[in-house]
């Protein structure tokens, strides 16, 4: 698809007095790149890469405006003038590329995750209504504290203006403090801030008025809000829309999202996984846009330029948040504008390395683009001063990434794959329910290979003789892994198979199935979902505290919701031991007590993997450089595989 096919996406948008060059937005999102609550060199480089890639507008991650607003130990803070210099550096980097940049001003209210010293925080909200997800009981804000917090928003906006940013976005989305005032299920106040729709608006109205007074006439002030929080006690779409209508004379744009931080089910929509349809907020965007006179900026799984163009063309938004698309490919806007849409590294919404790393306390990255968040180290590919002949053995994600980057560095690369198709275990992962989009990892790497000049040989199993004939300067083993089958004490005719056999349709399972899930990740729960959808009675035994224990929470909670709807019984703390007849014997991993699962026709093993490393172990002395990466080195996930492909290519 060529550039002119996206006329709306690449048309300018005027917001107040600011002209934004296109309709592609990087919405505010946590990066864990700040240091000591300030903008770091890494954060500047991160945003500069997306500005250089052609984004029209970048909205930076939330910045706390009051000491009670530190919702994680890694938050940005805008509570003193020391923040100005860091913001100025981001503004200068983005403006140099013609990209506008806003800051987000933020108070979480009761949505506090952690503190720097590990103690539980004292949280504040409109009323003392508990938070379900983080189990926080907040203190009601006094009028004096409300005045301090309103003043904090104004002071934060003044600092952002002094730094040279183009505007701010007040965060009232996802159940954070302004939403807690708007929501009658949370706001039980009987003073001027509660009791009626008009009174519940007062906190946010005062914030917006104070920010406007503290800034200039041409400074942009916007409001981010959830167009429905998808929670039984959450703010409804109707209430959110009514608030926007009432406040629209005070703001210059509205940023729309879904969900709430207050509950597990509502939080899934903060970063929706691949099971949720693309551009799924668009109908709500249309309703808000029809009722409002200010521009509507829409988020929610808009991953490709054609999706954004369709949303804009249907009048469902004025600008599209394409945040994860820009995490996966910072050059996405430039590629779309230049008619190179097929070269875009499309986000697959796995949530593994973007929000997943944040939830584990590590800086942002991307399974497909490990350079993301590591721009200062890997942002610019350096040509090798000594080009080498490189032999990469294994055409899964690790091998493909290693081959591409090695070729970009000037090496002569040959990639061998024993199968007739590249992609390795990605080809199996995409067969799991709701995971078809994951196949994009292979699609994207194949496109990069096609441009790289790598010589690709499929259907050939490499042996020592072939390595000796080719005599490479460097050997990279990326030969993957195979299913691990534990030794089981067993007797009888119980069918025992592994997940790979199920996904490849190599076996017919019985009507009563037990999935023994050692990894507690996508595989066991995904196969359980697949078999339950096929009509089997399925029980999932997890060697851990809960199903999906190894997964990012938004992915895990979505999977667990599906398992519950399908009637899958989940047995936790369960270690597989053996079987007899139709009974499977397990052991409780905390108490050591026996667990028995009866009337099982088929036992499906999801017990992890073992490395396919035989050739690597036999390769000593066959090349000056020998490396093992990905599952060949140690079975893990696609994130480690692709990152190690990048790392080894940089070392060659």
pLDDT in tens, 88-138: 999 999 999 999 999 999 999 999 988 878 888 899 999 999 999 999 999
pLDDT at 3: 43
HEC secondary structure over 254-274:
EEEECCECCCHHHHHHHCCCC
Query: What average pLDDT does this structure show over 160-182?
Result: 98
- Share the mean pLDDT of the chain: 96
pLDDT at 2: 42
Query: What average pLDDT does this structure show over 226-236?
Result: 96
Query: What average pLDDT does this structure show over 25-40?
Result: 97
- CA-nearest of 474, 404, 493, 483 to 446 is 404
pLDDT at 4 over 70: no
Question: What does the DSSP assignment read for 131-189?
Answer: BTTTTB-PEEPPHHHHHHHHHHHHHHHHHHHHHT-SEEEEE--BT-HHHHHH-TTT---
Query: Which top CATH class is 3-377?
Result: alpha beta
- CA-nearest of 461, 25, 548, 427 to 253 is 25
pLDDT at 1 over 80: no
Domain 489-607: CATH superfamily is: FAD/NAD(P)-binding domain (3.50.50.60)
Instruction: Tell me how far CA of residue 647 lies from CA of 72, 81, 401, in angstroms.
Output: 30, 39, 10
Domain ranges of the chain: 3-377, 381-483+611-651, 489-607
Burial 387-402 (b: 16+ CB within 10 A, else e): ebebbbbbbbbbbbbb
Do β-strands 574-580 and 489-491 pair in parallel, antiparallel, or remain unpaired?
Answer: parallel
Cβ-contact 511, 536 below 8 angstroms: yes
pLDDT tens string 501-514: 999 999 999 999 99
Query: What average pLDDT does this structure show over 611-628?
Result: 97
Lowest mean pLDDT among 109-123, 184-198, 529-543, 562-576: 109-123
pLDDT tens string 463-477: 999 999 999 999 999
Lowest mean pLDDT among 65-74, 111-120, 291-300, 569-578: 111-120
Question: What does the DSSP assignment read for 49-98?
Answer: HHHHTT-SEEEEEEEESSGGG--STT-EE-SSGGGHHHHHHHHHHHHTTT
pLDDT at 194 over 60: yes
pLDDT at 648 over 80: yes
Residue 290 contacts by C-beta under 8 Å, 6 or more apart in sequence? none
Query: What average pLDDT does this structure show over 434-453?
Result: 97
Cβ-contact 632, 550 below 8 angstroms: no
Question: What phi and psi, each to the nearest 5 degrees, are found at residue 167?
Answer: 180, 180
| 439 pLDDT tier (thresholds 50, 70, 90) | very high
Neighbours of 605 (CB within 10 A): 25
Query: What average pLDDT does this structure show over 546-563?
Result: 96
Query: What average pLDDT does this structure show over 543-566?
Result: 96
Query: What average pLDDT does this structure show over 290-305?
Result: 97
**3-state SS, residue 101:** strand
pLDDT at 376: 98
pLDDT at 238 over 70: yes
Please state the length of the chain.
Answer: 652
pLDDT tens string 361-410: 999 999 999 999 999 999 999 999 999 999 999 999 999 999 999 999 99
CATH architecture of 381-483+611-651: 3-Layer(aba) Sandwich (3.40)
Query: What average pLDDT does this structure show over 487-516?
Result: 95
Query: What average pLDDT does this structure show over 404-417?
Result: 98
pLDDT at 244: 98
Cβ-contact 449, 396 below 8 angstroms: no
């Amino acid at each position: 698809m060529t550039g002119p096919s996206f006329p709306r996406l690449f048309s300018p948008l005027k917001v107040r007095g600011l002209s934004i060059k296109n309709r592609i937005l990087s919405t505010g999102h946590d990066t864990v790149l700040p240091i000591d609550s300030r903008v770091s060199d890494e954060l500047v480089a991160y945003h500069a890469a997306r500005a250089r890639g052609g984004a029209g507008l970048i909205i930076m991650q939330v910045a706390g405006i009051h000491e009670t607003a530190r919702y994680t130990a890694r938050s940005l803070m805008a509570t003193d003038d020391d923040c100005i210099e860091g913001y100025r550096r981001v503004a200068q980097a983005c403006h140099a590329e013609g990209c506008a940049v806003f800051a987000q001003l933020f108070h979480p209210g009761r949505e506090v995750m952690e503190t720097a010293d590990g103690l539980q925080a004292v949280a504040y909200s409109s009323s003392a209504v508990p938070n379900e997800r983080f189990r926080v009981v907040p203190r009601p804000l006094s009028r004096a504290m409300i005045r301090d917090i309103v003043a904090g928003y104004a002071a934060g906006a003044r600092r952002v203006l002094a730094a040279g940013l183009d505007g701010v976005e007040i965060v009232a989305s996802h159940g954070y403090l302004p939403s807690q005032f708007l929501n009658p299920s949370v706001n039980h106040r009987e003073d001027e801030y509660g009791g009626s729709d008009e009174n519940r608006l007062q906190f946010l109205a005062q914030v917006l008025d104070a920010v406007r007074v503290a800034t200039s006439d041409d400074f942009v002030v916007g409001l981010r809000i959830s167009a429905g929080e998808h929670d039984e006690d959450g703010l409804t779409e109707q209430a959110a829309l009514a608030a926007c209508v009432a406040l629209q004379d005070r703001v210059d744009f509205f940023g729309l999202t879904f969900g709430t931080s207050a509950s597990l089910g509502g939080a899934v929509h903060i970063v929706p996984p691949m099971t949720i349809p693309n551009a799924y907020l668009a109908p709500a965007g249309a309703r808000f846009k029809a009722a409002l006179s200010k521009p509507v900026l829409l988020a929610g799984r808009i991953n490709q330029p054609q999706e954004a163009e369709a949303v804009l063309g249907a009048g469902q938004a004025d600008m599209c948040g394409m945040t994860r698309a820009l995490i996966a490919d910072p050059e996405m806007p430039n590629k779309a504008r230049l008619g190179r849409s097929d070269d875009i590294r499309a986000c697959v919404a796995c949530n593994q390395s973007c929000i997943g790393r944040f939830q584990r306390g590590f800086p942002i990255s991307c399974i497909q683009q490990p350079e993301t968040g590591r721009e200062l180290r890997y942002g610019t590919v350096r040509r090798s001063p000594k080009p080498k002949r490189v032999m990469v053995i294994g055409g899964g994600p690790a091998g493909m990434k290693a081959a591409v980057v090695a070729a970009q560095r000037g090496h002569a690369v040959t990639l061998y794959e024993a199968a007739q198709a590249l992609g390795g275990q990605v080809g199996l992962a995409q067969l799991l329910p709701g995971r078809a989009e994951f196949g994009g990892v292979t699609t994207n790497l194949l496109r990069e290979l096609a441009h790289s000049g790598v010589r690709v040989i499929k259907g050939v199993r490499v042996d020592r003789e072939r390595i000796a004939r080719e005599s490479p300067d460097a050997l990279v083993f990326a030969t993957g892994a195979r299913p691990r089958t534990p030794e089981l004490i067993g007797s009888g005719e119980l069918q025992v198979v592994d997940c790979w056999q199920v996904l490849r349709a190599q076996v017919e399972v019985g009507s009563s199935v037990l999935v023994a899930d050692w990894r507690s990740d996508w595989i066991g729960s995904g196969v359980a979902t697949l078999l339950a959808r096929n009509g089997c009675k399925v029980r999932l035994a997890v060697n851990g505290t809960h199903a999906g224990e190894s997964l990012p929470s938004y992915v895990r909670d979505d999977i667990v919701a599906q398992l519950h709807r399908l009637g899958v019984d989940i047995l936790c703390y369960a270690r597989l031991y053996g079987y007899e007849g139709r009974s499977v014997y397990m052991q409780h991993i905390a108490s050591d007590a026996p667990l028995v699962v009866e009337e099982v026709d088929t036992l499906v093993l999801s017990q992890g993997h073992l490395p396919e490393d035989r050739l690597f172990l036999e390769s000593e002395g066959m090349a000056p450089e020998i490396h093992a990466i990905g599952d060949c080195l140690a079975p893990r996930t696609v994130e480690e595989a692709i990152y190690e492909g990048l790392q080894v290519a940089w070392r060659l």
